[in-house]
Amino acid sequence: SAAALLPRDRCCFQLTASGGVSGSVGQLNDGQNRVGGGYSPATYCINGGSIIDNNDRGCILTPPTTQFQCDQGATPTSGFTISSSGQIQYNGSNAFYACPATDSEYNIYTNPVEGQDKCVQITLGSSGKCSGNAGSASFASYIATSTSSASSIQINPPPSSYFTPSLPPLTQSTAVTSSISAGSAPGSSAPQASTYSQLAESLAPQSISSLSSTQSPTLQLSTYSQSAQSPSIPAGTSSQAASANTGTTAAPSSASSILPSETEGSSACQTTLIGAYQTPHLIVPVSSSQPDHAYGTQYNATVNSGTSTIFNFDIPQDYHGRTCSIIFLLPEQSQLETSAYDFSGTGSLTFQELSVPADQQTTYNSLPSSRRQLNSIPIQSGNSYVVTSESCQAGQTESILVGSQGGLKLSFFQDWNPAALGLFITSC
C-alpha cells in the first residue's frame, strides 16, 4: 500500500495557532489550512524538513503569496522544523501570518499578503509533540513514487486515493451523453470517461454536502462590453487592439432558456461543463515582485495588481469547424464542494491571448507578447461569464493571460468538480 512507502521516522502532530488569532488548524477539502471556521483539527507529519498531511498530500508554500496548504501529488516544501518548545519554524523563523479568507476564517502564510491590511502575526505550536524534530530523510521520494513521474508531463489525473480531482486527463475530449435538465448545477454530470470522477463520490467524506440533481445556483443574466481602456500587461509585452467582444452569464436556474449574446457573429457556447469542454493543461502565475522567477505549473491561480496567471489550453484537432467559447465560472462559495477562492475589490478581470504558448519556465520578464485583448469583465460571485466566442483554434495550444485592473484581487483553486470554478473552453 502507499502507506508502506512512507519513511518510518516521521513524527505526526496537530497545529494550534497563537497570537493575532488563535485556535486549532483545520483544512478545507482541497488542502488549504485554516484557522477558525470550526474545522476538525488536521493531522500533519514531519520528516526531513518536509511536512505532509494525514491524506498524504505534500504541504507547500504556494507562489507568489506563500500560502501554507497541502496539495495532492505536490513535492512538499523543505525547511520546516519543530523547535524544542514545540513551535513550527520555517527556515529558522517561527513567524507565520494569518490573513482573512472569510469573516471568521484565516489562511496561513509565511509572509504578509500584499494589499491585505488585516493580516496578523501568529505562531504555530505542535502541543509539544515532535519537539526538536526535522527528521533524517525526506518525503520527496515518497511523493515522487506516488505521483507516477508527474514531473515528466504537464498535468496528471490525480490518483484514485484523491477524492477531489481538479483536472481531467490531458487527452480527454469530454462528450457527455446522459441527459440533464436545464436547471442542473454546473458540472453536476461528470465526464463519463473519467473513472476517478466516479471514485470521487464514493471516497468523499460524509461531511461534504453535494448539490442534488435538482439544485441549481442562482445566476443573474448580465452582458458586458469590452472596455475601451486597454489593461496594462507586464513589461516587455505589447498589446494589439481587438474589436469589442461581449460576455454573458449562463441561463438562470429556471427551465426556460435565455440565449446568450452574440460575439463576432457567433453564438456563445454553453457556460456549464456539459457537452464538449477543455480544462487548462498548464496554469502558470507570473509576478512583478519576482520578475525572473518561474513558478511552474500550479493548481491555484492568483490575480492582483502585481500578479497575473497564464492558462494553456490544447484544442483538439476534431474541434475544427466548431465554435469555442472561453468561459469564466465564479460560483458562490456555498456552492463549492472541493474548491475555494479569495475575492476582494470591485475592479475587473482582464483577458488576453498571448502570441505564442507559455510554458513552465515562463516568467514575468519572459512573458510572450499579447496577440490581442479579449475582454475586460467586472465580476461578482454567483455568475458565469463568456469572455469571447469564435471559431475553435483546432490542433493548437491557446495561452490566455488573466490579469486584473481597478484593485480586484482573486485567488482560486481551479476545479471542474461541482460547482466548477475557473477558466474553461466549451465547444458547440
The answer to whether 54 and 44 are in contact (CB under 8 A) is yes
> Cell for 405?
485592473
Q: Rounded to whole angstroms, how far apart are CA atoms 55 and 245? A: 44
Q: What is the mean pLDDT of residues 98-124?
A: 91
Q: How far apart are CA 350 and CA 245, in angstroms?
A: 12
Instruction: Render pLDDT for 359-401 as a digit per residue (tens, 0 to 9).
Output: 999 999 999 999 999 999 999 999 999 999 999 999 999 999 9
* 409-413 and 266-267 strand pairing: unpaired
Residue 236 clears pLDDT 60, i.e. is over it: no
Task: Give the side-chain half-sphere CA count within 13 A for 202.
Answer: 7
How many other CB atoms sit within 10 Å of the CB of residue 115?
14
**Separation between Cα atoms, residue 416 and residue 146, nearest integer Å:** 23
Residue that wins the pLDDT comparison between 19 and 140:
19
> What is the DSSP secondary-structure string of 322-388?
-EEEEEEEE--GGG-SS--EEEE-S-EEEEEEESS---TT--STTPPPEEEEEEEEE--TTEEEEEE
Is the pLDDT confidence value at 38 over 70? Answer: yes
Confidence of residue 9 (pLDDT cuts 50, 70, 90): low
Rounded Cα distance between 423 and 402, Å, is: 9
Asked if 74 and 67 touch (Cβ cutoff 8 Å), the reply is: no
Residue 150 — very low, low, confident or very high, per pLDDT cuts 50/70/90?
very low
pLDDT digit string, tens, across residues 265-290: 347 899 888 888 999 999 999 999 99
Determine the pLDDT at residue 133. Answer: 63
Give the residue, 218 or 368, on which the prediction is more confident: 368
Q: Binning pLDDT at 50, 70 and 90, where does residue 72 land?
A: confident
| pLDDT at 134 (0 to 100) | 55
C-beta separation of 251 from 181 below 8 A: no
Which helix (H) or strand (E) covers residue 278, if one does? Answer: strand 277-278
Which cell numbers in the block locate residue 395?
A: 490542433
Q: Please say whether the beta carbons of 290 and 192 come within 8 A.
A: no
Q: Which residues is 373 bridged to in the sheet?
A: 352
Nearest to 326 by CA among 306, 349, 344, 303: 349
The span from the CA of 299 to the CA of 405, in Å, is: 23
What pTM value is reported for the model? 0.46
Over the stretch 109-119, which tens digit does the pLDDT of each residue have? 999 988 888 89
Write the pLDDT tens digit of every residue in 287-298.
Answer: 999 999 999 988
User: Exposure of 352 by Cβ count < 10 A (0-12 exposed, 13-18 middle, 19+ buried)?
Assistant: buried
C-alpha cell at 88: 513550527
Residue 265 Cα distances to 227, 244, 262, 304, angstroms: 19, 12, 6, 32
What gap in Å lies between CA 285 and CA 398, rounded to an integer? 16
* Pick from 6-10, 235-239, 384-388: least confident: 235-239
Read off the pLDDT band of 73 (50, 70, 90).
confident
Mean pLDDT within 22-37: 92
| Cell (9 digits) for 48 | 526531513
Q: Classify 5 in phi/psi space as left (phi over 0), alpha (psi -120 to 50) or beta.
A: alpha
Backbone angles phi, psi at 145, to 5 degrees: -70, -40
Alpha-carbon gap, residue 213 to 191, rounded angstroms: 15
In sequence order, the 6+-apart residues with CB closer than 8 A to the CB of 8 are none
Domain coordinates in residue numbering, the chain? 2-142, 195-427
Q: Which of 399, 420, 166 is nearest to 270 (CA)?
A: 420
